[in-house]
Amino acid sequence: MQLKPDCLVCLFNQAQRVTKVLECDETCAKDVLDTAALEIAKFDFTLTPPEAAAILYPKISKLLHKEDLYKEAKTESIQKAKKLLPFAKEQIRKSSDPLDAALRAAVVGNVIDFATQYGFDLEEEIKKIFHIPFAIDDKRAFSQRLCKASSLLVIGDNTAEHLFDKIMIEVFKEHCSHLDIYYFVRGKPIINDVTMDEALEAGLDKVCTVVDSGVDTPGFCLERASNEAKAIFDNVDLILSKGMGNFECLDGVKDPRLFFLFKIKCDVVAKRVGKQVGDLVCIQGDTI
C-alpha cells in the first residue's frame, strides 16, 4: 500500500506524539517537528507508510539521542496488557470455538494502543471484541487451513500485543500439536513495535520459534527481511500478519497462505479495505 497525502499529516502528528510521550520542552519539540516537516516534504508515493516511518523515526531518535524512543512507553503498555490477560484467557476457555476466540484475543492485543484514547473504557471495549462481528471475516478459512498446516508464521506487530499473540499461539499448539510456529519480531526498535528483547522477556520462545526478521520498518517489508526470514516466509504453510503496519507492507502480496488480522485505525486503510475506522478484520491475502 502506497503512501497517501493523509499519511504525511499522520506522520507529523506521530512526531508530535513523540514530543508528548518524551515530555520534550518547547525548543526540543520544535527541533523534532522541524526535522519531521523537512523529512515529510521529501517523501513520495513510491513508499509504503511504514517505509516512510522508518526514515522519519531514526532522524528523531538521532536528534533526541535515544535509540528506543518508546522504551518506557512499551514497558508501561506491557504492564497494562498483563492485567487484561486473565480476562482474555477466560474468554477463550469459555468459548465453544477456541480457535476463533484465540484470534479475537490477538485482536484484543491489536486494539490496545488504539483504545488508550478511551482511557478507563478499555476493559469495556475489549469485552466487546469477543462477541462483535468482524467487518471482513475470514477467520473460519484461516482455522480450516490451520488444522491442515504443518507450519505457521505469525508476524508480530506492537509491544504488549505480543502477550496476546502468545496466548493465541498456545491455543493453536493445543489444538494442532504438530504445528511448527514461527514468530517474527522487528530487527530493531521502531515506534512501539515488538523486538527480540520484549519477545524473550515474555517467554514467546517457550511456545514458538522467535525470529529476528531483520526488518527496520514498522511493518514487515519483505524486501528488507533477512534471508532466514524470507525463507521462512516463502516456505511456511500459513501466515498470520498482525496489525496495520504489516498489512500496509504486504498488501500487494496476493497469497492465499496469508491472512491479515487487525483493527482498522485510520481512514487510509479503511478506504483501502472498504470498511470503517474501528472495524475488526481478518482478510485472506488473495481476496483483497
Residues that bind its own copies (CB under 8 A): 4-6, 8-9, 12-13, 16, 19, 24, 26, 29-30, 32-34, 37-38, 40-41, 44-45
Q: Which is nearer to its own copies, 4 or 230 (CB)?
A: 4
Amino acid at 8: L
Least distance to its own copies from the beta carbon of 39, Å?
9
Least distance to its own copies from the beta carbon of 16, Å?
5
- For residues 60 and 73, what is the distance between their CA atoms, to the nearest angstrom? 16
Q: By C-alpha distance, which of 241, 185, 257, 240 is closest to 217?
A: 185
Least distance to its own copies from the beta carbon of 11, Å?
10
How many residues does the structure list for the chain? 288
Pairing mode, strands 209-212 and 280-284 = unpaired
Do 81 and 194 touch, CB atoms closer than 8 A? Answer: no
- For residues 144 and 126, what is the distance between their CA atoms, to the nearest angstrom? 26
**Residue 82, C-alpha cell as written in the block:** 498483563
Q: Which is nearer to its own copies, 8 or 21 (CB)?
A: 8
Q: Which is nearer to its own copies, 26 or 223 (CB)?
A: 26
Q: Which is nearer to its own copies, 4 or 175 (CB)?
A: 4
Least distance to its own copies from the beta carbon of 110, Å?
26
Least distance to its own copies from the beta carbon of 154, Å?
34
Q: Which is nearer to its own copies, 33 or 153 (CB)?
A: 33
Q: Which is nearer to its own copies, 74 or 272 (CB)?
A: 272
Long-range pairs of 273-277 with CB within 8 A, sequence gap ≥ 24: 273/136, 275/135, 275/136, 276/135
Q: By C-alpha distance, which of 69, 73, 160, 141 is closest to 103?
A: 141
Least distance to its own copies from the beta carbon of 27, Å?
8
